[in-house]
């Protein structure tokens, strides 16, 4: 028999959960049970592949310390990884016992959280132990408490060894009806390989560099755009202008790499456009030259550019959408 212990605390000296875990490990070793402990704070870079260690286990102990609220982020990250990458068939045959010690308040709530999480994963829960220990000395110096922990370890051993049957719980019925993991055509092995990459900081950094290089290359091609001459922009906007008597607005467009902004003044049927400055603009936008060229050539709208992040703006964002109504640009016809 093998029992895996996953410790979700911070590994601090004086952590009562660590003391409880060590007492339990001694009991398991006396019962000839193979025990392996995983300290999640040391496994944070490999936490997405940690669920694979469940395959060799017959039972699991989830051990955590409540220092201020809940079981802590490392334990939740591990449970998330079990949900995303764990072998659900294997988990469905695993017994889990929670071990939770609190130095403040909330050990019962945290214990219940772990039980609910494991049942949601499809596993079976067996009784663990929880308690309030503001000082570790209260646990280390109390033989009665130690015997309670030893007794809990023996009960966990019996539950796992005898495959104790538990009554059905409602969360399992809900899980079958509503819970779904991500649809994937990947095998379990392929999923684990991908999760290894996700936990490899060097690999992730290299991917980000490659994406940036491709982005810069694409942007460079856009900036070498040989379409509409930007000097003709005022005339092109005037030609595309569709007057609206209810509109009285001033726009300022900062084109990256150009000293002067492209400014537009709209007053009903009157329209002016030129390069210069505008102190009191109703809305001020910034974009690459290629983005503005794409708008003029009808391949992009102002609203789409803003929604995709190609255009940044200050002011009343609703007035960006209005530009697409005031200026009707047509894509070039194909010869």
Q: What pairs with residue 313 in β-bridges? A: 285
Question: What homologous superfamily does CATH list for 230-326?
Answer: SCP2 sterol-binding domain (3.30.1050.10)
**Confidence band for 180, pLDDT divided at 50, 70 and 90:** low
Q: What is residue 163's predicted lDDT score, i.e. its pLDDT?
A: 87
pLDDT, one tens digit per residue, over 239-287 is 999 999 999 999 999 998 888 899 999 999 999 999 998 878 889 999 9
Domain boundaries defined on the chain? 2-195, 230-326
The mean predicted confidence, pLDDT, of the chain is 85
User: What three-state secondary structure class fits 132?
Assistant: strand
Three-state SS for 125-152 is: ECCCEEEECCCCHHHHCCHHHHHHHHHH
Residue 2, Cβ neighbours under 10 Å: how many?
A: 14
pLDDT, one tens digit per residue, over 278-296 is 878 889 999 998 899 889 9
Q: What is residue 224's predicted lDDT score, i.e. its pLDDT?
A: 42
Q: What is 2-195's CATH number, 3.40.50.150, 3.40.50.360, 3.90.180.10, 3.30.450.40?
A: 3.40.50.360
Interatomic CA distance for residues 206 and 202, integer angstroms: 6
Interatomic CA distance for residues 9 and 16, integer angstroms: 10
User: Does the structure show a pLDDT above 90 at 118?
Assistant: yes
Using CA atoms, how far residue 173 sits from 170, 177, 261, in Å, is 5, 6, 62
């Amino acid at each position: 028999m093998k029992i895996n212990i996953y410790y979700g605390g911070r590994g601090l000296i004086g952590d009562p959960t660590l003391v409880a875990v060590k007492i339990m490990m001694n009991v398991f070793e006396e019962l000839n049970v193979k025990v392996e402990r995983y300290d999640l704070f040391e496994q944070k870079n490999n936490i997405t592949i940690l669920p694979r260690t469940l395959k060799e286990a017959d039972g699991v102990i989830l051990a955590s310390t409540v220092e201020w609220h809940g079981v802590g982020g490392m334990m939740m990250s591990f449970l998330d990884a079990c949900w995303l990458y764990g072998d659900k068939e294997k988990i469905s045959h695993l017994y889990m016992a929670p071990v939770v010690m609190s130095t403040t308040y909330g050990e019962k709530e945290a214990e219940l959280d772990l039980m609910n999480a494991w049942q949601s994963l499809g596993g079976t829960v067996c009784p663990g132990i929880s308690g309030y220990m503001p000082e570790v000395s209260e646990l280390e110096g109390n033989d009665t408490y130690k015997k309670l922990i030893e007794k809990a370890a023996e009960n966990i051993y019996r539950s796992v060894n005898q495959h104790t049957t538990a009554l059905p719980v409602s969360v399992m019925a809900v899980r079958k009806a509503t819970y779904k993991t991500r649809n994937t055509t990947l095998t379990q092995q392929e999923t684990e390989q991908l999760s290894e990459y996700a936990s490899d900081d060097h690999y992730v950094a290299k991917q980000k560099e490659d994406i940036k290089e491709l982005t810069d290359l694409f942007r460079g091609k856009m900036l070498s755009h040989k379409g509409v001459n930007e000097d003709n922009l005022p005339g092109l906007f005037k030609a595309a202008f569709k007057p609206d008597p209810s509109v009285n607005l001033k726009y300022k467009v900062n084109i990256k790499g150009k000293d002067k902004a492209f400014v537009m003044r709209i007053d009903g049927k009157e329209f002016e456009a030129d390069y210069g400055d505008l102190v009191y603009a109703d809305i001020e936008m910034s974009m690459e030259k290629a983005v503005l060229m794409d708008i003029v050539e009808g391949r992009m709208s102002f609203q789409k550019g803003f929604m995709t992040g190609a255009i940044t703006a200050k002011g009343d964002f609703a007035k960006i959408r209005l530009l697409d109504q005031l200026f009707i640009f047509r894509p070039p016809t194909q010869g």
